[in-house]
Every structure is written in C-alpha cells, then in structure tokens.
C-alpha cells in the first residue's frame, strides 16, 4: 500500500528467481521484468493495471524454471476480494533464471534533500514453494 497522491505513487513489488513483479505507480502498470538494470531488459512484460493510493493489494508471483523455458506467472488483486482464477500477467522466458532469492521491491518517488519520498507498506508477506 502507498499513501501518497497518484502523482507521487511509488513502484513496489515482489521478486523470485531474479524476476520482479512490480506495480509501477505513476505509470499505472503491472510488470514482470528481469535484468532491468541493463539498457534493454531481458524480460519485460507490461500491462496497464490501475491501482490507487490508500488501498491494499495482494500480489502472487510464481516461477516454473525446471525445463529449458521458464514460465513466470503473477496475479494482483485488491485485498479483501477473491483471488482471480486466471493469472493477471504471464511471460515465457526462453533462457530462464533457475535460482534467486525472494525479495521485496520498493522505489520511493520524490526523495529530495531534506524531504522524504512517498510512503509504501508491506503486510502479511509469505514465501512458499511452487506447487507441482
């Protein structure tokens, strides 16, 4: 959750196997990305996905990288509503990342000298093994 006005919304998300599922605040997008620090991210699947400040959302990211290709799937939905049956966003990686630690991601917008950036919060975080 973030608390700032839409023009200052942070980017936030979760990671697994070096793949990031990111709610891109000001762009109002949902992204699966890998190796984003390179000039052209190796994997970048982006869809429009509006979200609002002051509301909680649930994110789920799963990576199946057991074979020659990786299948990365994610869901995002408002907290307190039913989990969608279908994946919200998916991507196939022809050269998958077979390992990598889970993590949380946050990029606060508007940090300048002597001023804090936008607030962001995480709650009820759990890491579980992929289901077969």
Residues in contact with 45: Cβ distance below 8 Å, sequence separation at least 6, in sequence order = 31, 32, 33, 89, 90, 91
- Residues 78-101: pLDDT tens digits? 999 999 999 999 999 998 988 889
Place of tokens 């509503």: 81
Are 43 and 91 within 8 A, CB to CB?
Answer: yes
What predicted TM-score, i.e. pTM, was given to this entire model? 0.88
Are 16 and 100 within 8 A, CB to CB?
Answer: yes
Q: Report the alpha-carbon distance of residue 111 to residue 66 in Å, rounded.
A: 40
- Residues 6-64: pLDDT tens digits? 567 889 999 999 999 999 988 999 999 997 766 666 888 999 999 988 899 999 999 99
Q: Report the alpha-carbon distance of residue 14 to residue 4 in Å, rounded.
A: 20
């Amino acid at each position: 959750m973030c608390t700032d006005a839409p023009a200052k919304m942070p980017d936030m998300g979760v990671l697994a196997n070096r793949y990031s599922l990111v709610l891109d605040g000001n762009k109002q997008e949902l992204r699966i990305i890998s190796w984003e620090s390179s000039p052209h991210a190796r994997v970048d699947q982006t869809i429009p996905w509006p979200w609002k400040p002051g509301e909680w959302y649930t994110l789920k990211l799963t990576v199946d990288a057991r074979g020659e290709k990786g299948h990365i799937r994610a869901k995002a939905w408002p907290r307190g509503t039913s989990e969608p049956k279908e994946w919200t966003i998916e991507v196939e990686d022809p050269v998958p990342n077979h390992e990598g630690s889970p993590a949380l991601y946050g990029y606060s917008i508007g940090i300048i000298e002597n001023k804090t950036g936008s607030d962001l919060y995480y709650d009820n975080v759990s890491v579980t093994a992929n289901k077969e």
